[in-house]
Amino acid sequence: MRHIHLVGACVGALCQTFPMRVHLGSDHAGLDLKEHLTAWLLDHDYEVVDHGPFVYDALDDYPVFCLRAGEGVAGDRAEGLDSLGVVIGGSGNGEQMAANKVTGIRCALVWSEETAVLAREHNDANVVSVGGRMHTLDDMTRFVEVFLATPFPGEERHARRIGQLSVYDETRELPDLPESALRAPDA
């Protein structure tokens, strides 16, 4: 069973644990995959928050659902919960863009187990996007499983880069240019 720890829920050495919460959002192209993933997550003891859609509508718009999934993850994290999210669409591109509009969200498009691992290990992604028309149910489920199981190890170079993104997200100030970006003097 996967668990998360609620910040402030520890007394001495005892910590209360909760099932990992996973926020889901899709569009019509990802609806079947989202329903499959919901069942899989529940079977594996995850808490699912489904932000829709709940019925097929070929004219629905992915931002409506993916922004809510991103807001759910960001809101949980603001309350000390280490929840994650999954957004699904035809290619996953637009869904990733929508989720990344939410402050504090780092949504990565995954298309293989390796990209799912790297999303967590290098980018501390808290939302993953999958293209429903690009993958089988089994492949998509495996990508999500790997994403959810992979921790962020906090390696300094990756943490530094994530910090730069976070500062920009909050202030809109660009990071300083490193020496390698400065022009070489004319010879």
Write out the catalytic residue numbers.
Answer: 95, 122
Query: DSSP string covering 36-94, please?
Result: HHHHHHHHTT-EEEE-S--S--TT--HHHHHHHHHHHHHHHHHTT---EEEEEESSSHH
Q: Is 90 annotated as a binding residue?
A: yes
Residue 151 CA: distances (Å) to CA of 4, 102, 117, 147, 186: 12, 22, 9, 8, 46
Q: Is 133 annotated as a binding residue?
A: yes
Q: Is 27 annotated as a binding residue?
A: yes
Q: Is 94 annotated as a binding residue?
A: yes
Pairing assessment for the beta strands 47-50 and 21-26 based on DSSP bridges: parallel
175 HSE (CA, 13 A, CB side): 14
Q: Which two tokens stand for residue 108?
A: 């990565």
Q: Is 142 annotated as a binding residue?
A: no
Q: Is 23 annotated as a binding residue?
A: no
Q: Is 123 annotated as a binding residue?
A: yes
Annotated binding site for D-ribulose 5-phosphate: 27-28, 90-94, 123, 133, 157, 161
Annotated binding site: 27-28, 90-94, 123, 133, 157, 161
